[in-house]
């Protein structure tokens, strides 16, 4: 069964450093997403990406965040200057809304745990 | 009012029990609805989509009441492996999912 993959599984960084989280969405999917989950809290939407551009972003997704699809398979989230409060699990997801009518079923990767020291 | 509201639980039930979770959402224009399951420190996994007419998948039954903006999930004949957090999820139609905080279920022998 096709699945979303993410690397690394755990990233430790110093405050102020840049990090890049990588994702390989399901190959025939057209929409890509990033979510985050701070420990003990709910999953929060960050950004959606379609046709090589951002289609929707949340208030959390400020100027320190950026996304990119550098090639035909990878989808990345860059955090330019990490803060302590960026420590969270970051989930990538993908979907193909055209396959299920209005039901935008999104499939999640296993996540990258980001720890900012 | 929170966008998606759930009772956090935990719900402690014995094996074989029937348990029901409820959820309310605030955006009446929401397009689609889901239940996801999340195990500890793992990714959310789609359990089932929720259709207006209600739908069943084995031991799981989901219901949607658009007028009341209310979604439910019923689990019959609970198994130990059903222990997890159940996330009520709404798509408001803007290519994003809005998650509830989740309801924790603990099934004991």
Name the CA radius of gyration of chain A, rounded: 14
Q: Bigger pLDDT: B61 or A96?
A: B61
Of B41, B95, B99, the CB nearest to A31: B95
Which residues in chain B are contacts of A48 at CB distance < 8 A? 95-96
Q: Within an 8 Å CB–CB cutoff, is residue B1 touching chain A? A: no
Q: Above 90 in pLDDT, residue B99?
A: yes
How many Å lie between the alpha carbon of A59 and the closest alpha carbon of chain B?
A: 13
CB B12 within 8 A of CB B108: yes
Phi (first) and psi of residue B3, to 5 degrees: -60, -45
pLDDT tier for residue B94 given thresholds of 50, 70 and 90: low
Could you tell me which residues come within 8 angstroms of residue B62 by beta carbon, excluding any fewer than 6 positions away?
B35, B48, B49, B50, B51, B54, B55, B56, B71, B72, B73, B74
Q: Within an 8 Å CB–CB cutoff, is residue A111 touching chain B? A: yes
CB B69 within 8 A of CB B6: no
Q: Above 60 in pLDDT, residue A63?
A: yes
pLDDT tier for residue B100 given thresholds of 50, 70 and 90: very high
């Amino acid at each position: 069964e096709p699945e979303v993959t993410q690397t690394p599984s755990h990233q430790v960084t110093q405050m102020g450093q840049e990090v890049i989280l990588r994702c390989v969405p399901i190959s025939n999917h057209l929409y890509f997403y990033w979510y985050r989950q701070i420990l003990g809290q709910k999953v929060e939407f960050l950004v959606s990406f379609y046709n090589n551009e951002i289609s929707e972003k949340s208030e959390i997704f400020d100027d320190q965040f950026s996304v990119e699809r550098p090639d035909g398979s990878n989808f990345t989230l860059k955090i330019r200057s990490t803060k302590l409060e960026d420590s969270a699990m970051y989930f990538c997801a993908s979907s193909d809304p055209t396959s299920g009518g209005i039901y935008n079923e999104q499939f999640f990767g296993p996540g990258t745990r980001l720890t900012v020291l | 009012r929170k966008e998606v509201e759930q009772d956090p639980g935990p719900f402690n039930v014995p094996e074989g029990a029937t348990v029901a979770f409820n959820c309310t959402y605030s955006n009446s224009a929401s397009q689609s609805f889901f239940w996801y399951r999340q195990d500890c420190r793992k990714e959310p996994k789609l359990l089932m989509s929720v259709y207006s007419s209600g739908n069943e998948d084995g031991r799981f039954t989901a219901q949607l009441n658009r007028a009341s903006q209310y979604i439910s999930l019923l689990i019959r004949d609970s198994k130990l492996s059903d222990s997890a957090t159940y996330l009520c999820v709404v798509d408001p139609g803007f290519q994003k999912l809005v998650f509830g905080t989740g309801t924790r279920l603990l099934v004991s022998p």
